[in-house]
Amino acid sequence: MRRREREISAAVIAFLFFCGFLWSRFQKEVYTFPQMPEPVSGETADLSEKAIAADESFDPNIRPSATGWTNFRDKKILVDETFSSNLPLVVIDTGDQEPKRGVVWDGEKDYYVSTGEDPYAYGEIFVIDNPEGTNSPKDSASVHSLCKLKIRGNSSGNYDKKQYLLKLIDEDGKPESRNILEMGGDNEWILNVSFIDKSLLRNYLAYTTAGEFMPFTPDAKYCEVLWKDGTQYRYEGVYLMLESIKEGKHRVDLPAYSDNGTVTPALLRRDRYNVNGIMLENYATERQLTSGYLDIEYPKKDVITKKGIQNVTEQVSRFERALYSENWKDFVQYRAYIDMDSFVDYFIVNEFFLNYDAGYNSTYIYMDYSGKLYMGPVWDFDQAMDNNATEIANLQTTAFHSAPWFDRLLQDPIFTEMIIERYAELRSSILSDASIRAFTESVIEYLGPAIDRDWARWGYYYTDGNYLSTRMPDGSNRNTQTHREETEKILSVLSQHGAWMDERLDSLYQFKKITLEEAKAQLAGQSVNYSPALAVLFIAVFQISVILVIKYDNES
């Protein structure tokens, strides 16, 4: 009897163990997503110091014709050493050399190609940033370096007010890292403020806001640029001294490149085709599922090996194979391959600021040794906040829902719920109307008379350029005529769009493939759909156990 009891007990235990095994296998196969190592933590940009108070030593009523201004001719303003500013000064001396663009659009090839000549002008840069806050060309420089610079930007390279890529070099022409305006040491910088942004605010407002919660957001500091012109200085206006997006300790801080293993840390950029880049042949690009191209920015072309390129390609492609799968079980595997929080924040920042170009161009993605994809850093907001020449911002809808990758991510209601909850958190603090207005007004107060000087230099375009060619539905002109008008336009646009998002952001659920409840049930393992093979095997094991029990009862 005891032997039979042991037999039946063993049979029942075996049955229960097998059921547990089947359940665990089912959970792993259907509902448990592959676990990835924790990502390497990156530094979060601390930009709080940017909300600085105005320099009270300057009278905001002083006009550009005050001391230091000598003449205005041929769209040129010259100043002498008596010029002073509460902003840091960047003085550039390249002698008779002028920077060039270095690229030109090839209509037949449909992308930019090199001009074949060295676009750089070589010279010196002096950064003057006195602790007391008053800066003049005659003052000692806090940073002095040899440099080379070229005109940057594709369409923006044609504007009168140029943007420049600045590289610091030593006497041998090799890169020299310097800490400019306390933003951390590096050799590569950008003199930025787009000619089309007469407010001088858009990039600074977006970068500073995003920098409070998004890692590696570029740091930026306002300055006024003077170009040495004989014994005087050519006034170029208000600029941002801006960190370029690149791998580096004070930029996108990624692990050093190694050719070992199957994971390669990388910095990618989605944009137009770059004939000189490392263009990925990834899953979605090859099948024309996304617009634009992905280019490897780091590791550099002369460092990364074929194996490294293959690793990066596979890291992107495995995410895209899941994301573009029509099988729901395969689709949700995308969650294992990305940092969802970074994708959520990227969506919110670009949607809130109405940055229609993001996701398509000037879009950055990085990966560490976890192999996961992180969205960011954010970049290029000069056409945001209703500043696109031909497309009027629609404040009563979302635009980012159609961006590459995000149009598929929104099929997952879990991702949409994350956006809605995160937006509510940010909207109650840093994205609130009160916070945005207070910060904007503090920036305007800090800039003070520098705004007038910049408008004196470039006002012919700000007021008469009619950059915004598309008129409002009522026929009114979208172009403002004063800096205050443009500022109020930005604040109004953000307030109206934010109010719509407050009430209607849940409209993103229209893109879902299953309900939120079903998605949550799947994550919790509460919804079970056995495959036919598993069901047959389960029944067979159960019947064998029943037979053993009946046999035991008859014998006893």
CA distance 296 to 390: 31
- The fraction of the chain above a pLDDT of 90, given in percent, is 69
Write out the two tokens for 516: 């939120």
**Stretch 330-349: mean pLDDT:** 98
Q: Which of 426, 437, 436, 268 is nearest to 348 (CA)?
A: 426
pLDDT score for 529: 46
- The pLDDT tens digits of the residues spanning 348-403 come to 999 999 999 999 999 999 999 999 999 999 999 999 999 998 889 999 999 999 99
Cis amide prior to 413 (ω within 30 degrees): no
Q: How many helices (H) and strands (E) does the chain have?
A: 13, 17
- Chain mean pLDDT for the chain: 84
CA distance 99 to 112: 18
pLDDT score for 550: 52
Half-sphere exposure of 322 (CA within 13 A, CB side): 19
Confidence of residue 533 (pLDDT cuts 50, 70, 90): very low
Angle, alpha carbons 52-225-135 (nearest 5°): 55
Is the pLDDT score of 472 beyond 90?
A: no
Q: Are strands 220-229 and 89-93 parallel, antiparallel or unpaired?
A: parallel
> Which range scores top for mean pLDDT: 67-71, 490-494, 543-547?
490-494
Helices (H), 211-303: 283-286
**Stretch 77-81: mean pLDDT:** 95
Lowest mean pLDDT among 272-286, 307-321, 456-470, 532-546: 532-546
Question: Does residue 57 sit in helix, strand or coil?
Answer: coil
DSSP 328-355: HHHHGGGGGGB-HHHHHHHHHHHHHTT-
Residues 6+ apart with CB under 8 A from 59: 449
**Stretch 118-141: mean pLDDT:** 95
Q: Are strands 163-169 and 121-128 parallel, antiparallel or unpaired?
A: unpaired
By residue count, the chain amounts to 556
CA distance 286 to 229: 51
pLDDT score for 554: 55
- The pLDDT tens digits of the residues spanning 236-283 come to 999 999 999 999 999 999 999 988 889 999 999 999 999 889 999 999
pLDDT score for 542: 53
**Stretch 183-188: mean pLDDT:** 98
- The pLDDT tens digits of the residues spanning 8-66 come to 444 544 544 444 444 444 333 332 223 333 333 333 222 222 322 333 333 323 333 33
